[in-house]
Amino acid sequence: MNKKRFGILVVLMAAFCLNMQAQSATSLRINEVLIVNETNFQDDYGVHSAWIEIYNTSYASVDIKGCFLTNDENNPTMYPIPKSDVLTLIKPRQHVIFWADGQPSRGTFHVNFTLDPTKKNYIALYDSNGKTLIDKVEVPAGLLADQSYARIKDGHGTWETKTGGLTDYVTPSTNNMTLDSNKKIDNFKKHDSIGIGMAITAMLVVFSGLILLYVIFKFVGNTAVRMGKRNAMKAHGITDKTEAKEKGLGQRSGEEFAAISMAMHEFLNDAHDYEDMIITINKVKRTYSPWSSKIYTLRETPKR
């Protein structure tokens, strides 16, 4: 019965992990596209090529390996993203650039198709099964050199044409919208300029966490003690709790736990000689620490 439950648990955990992986892939978004590149971003070969920016909208790292990029609606698996490159792991809320230069031999991030500035360009990102569409976009025709088609806000919202001006500049591998201020922080500064509220909140969080940890450890410790007593009663065939308490079942001294722990450590690490495996513990009743006593010094006491 235990093996059956364990097998069911393993299957459920595997299904959960696969589901999490599938959900993480859906958080990827096509974020910005530049078709005519004359003086904009250069690839790792120093060449100005068209590029496609992918953005990870989640707060966890997502690996884009095994997914597919395409510019053909009838061929969703046109460019399979290689699985052997560690750089395909996109960090939370970060971007990655793919170069549409038609030269996949130049590396993982160089796709096997190009983009045509004279017509509308369809670009899509598919999951590793080649059937599940993650995101798509149709870039309008007629974009001028160094103009991009991008989302107004990373991973969300509508699209706009960025002309490269001071207010709508092209943003490869960075945020499409730059925020100069944070409303939440500004409101917090307005209502708590000295920081008293922040200090009280921080202390409440810390002390609440400590109290919660104390309760958890206390509960776990009491549960372990009760289970130990129950197992001891079962081993000795005793059902009466009063009798078990009188005999001290399930109660062990600190010296016994220390001896058992030491023996297990030496046995598991094989850091001992072969001996009779008998450990003798003599309790010393002294008011001082024997190891620091002067009677155990290695030097002979000088004679006066």
Please, which pLDDT band fits residue 1 given cuts at 50, 70 and 90? very low
Residue 280 has pLDDT above 50, yes or no: yes
Residue 269, φ and ψ in degrees, nearest 5: -95, -5
Please, which pLDDT band fits residue 220 given cuts at 50, 70 and 90? very high
In this structure, the strands spanning 95-99 and 121-126 are unpaired
Within 8 A by CB and 6+ apart from 16, the residues are none
Supply the pLDDT for residue 300. 65
Q: Which residues pair with 54 in a beta bridge?
A: 30, 96
Correct CATH for 26-180 of 2.60.260.20, 3.40.50.300, 2.60.40.1260, 2.60.120.380: 2.60.40.1260
Residue 28 has pLDDT above 90, yes or no: yes
∠ CA 94-63-102, nearest 5°, is 85
Quick one: which H or E segment has residue 62? strand 62-63
Within 8 A by CB and 6+ apart from 211, the residues are none
Residue 2 has pLDDT above 70, yes or no: no
Residue 53 has pLDDT above 90, yes or no: yes
Structure tokens at 55: 């953005």
Residue 184 has pLDDT above 90, yes or no: no
Structure tokens at 246: 């009188």
Please, which pLDDT band fits residue 186 given cuts at 50, 70 and 90? confident
Residue 75 has pLDDT above 60, yes or no: yes
**Angle, nearest 10°, between helix axes 196-236 and 183-191?**
100
Residue 118 has pLDDT above 70, yes or no: yes
Structure tokens at 295: 């009677």
- Other CB atoms within 10 Å distance of the CB of residue 284: 7
Q: What is the mean pLDDT of residues 271-281?
A: 64
Supply the pLDDT for residue 119. 94
Q: For the chain, where do the domains classified as CATH 2.60.40.1260 start and end?
A: 26-180
What is the pLDDT of the chain when averaged over all its residues? 84
Residue 288 has pLDDT above 70, yes or no: no
DSSP letters, 93-129, are T-EEEEE-BS-GGG-TTB-S-B--TTS-EEEEEE-TT
> Measured between alpha carbons, how far is residue 212 from residues 108, 117, 201, 215 in Å?
48, 61, 16, 5
Supply the pLDDT for residue 23. 47
CA-based R_g, the chain, Å:
34
pLDDT > 70 in the chain, percent = 80
Q: What is the mean pLDDT of residues 26-55?
A: 95
Eight-state DSSP code of residue 140: P
Residue 111 has pLDDT above 90, yes or no: yes
Rounded Cα distance, 33 and 149, in Å? 5
68-70: strand order across its sheet: 79-80, 68-70, 121-126, 133-139
Rounded Cα distance, 281 and 180, in Å? 70
Structure tokens at 274: 């072969």
Supply the pLDDT for residue 229. 81
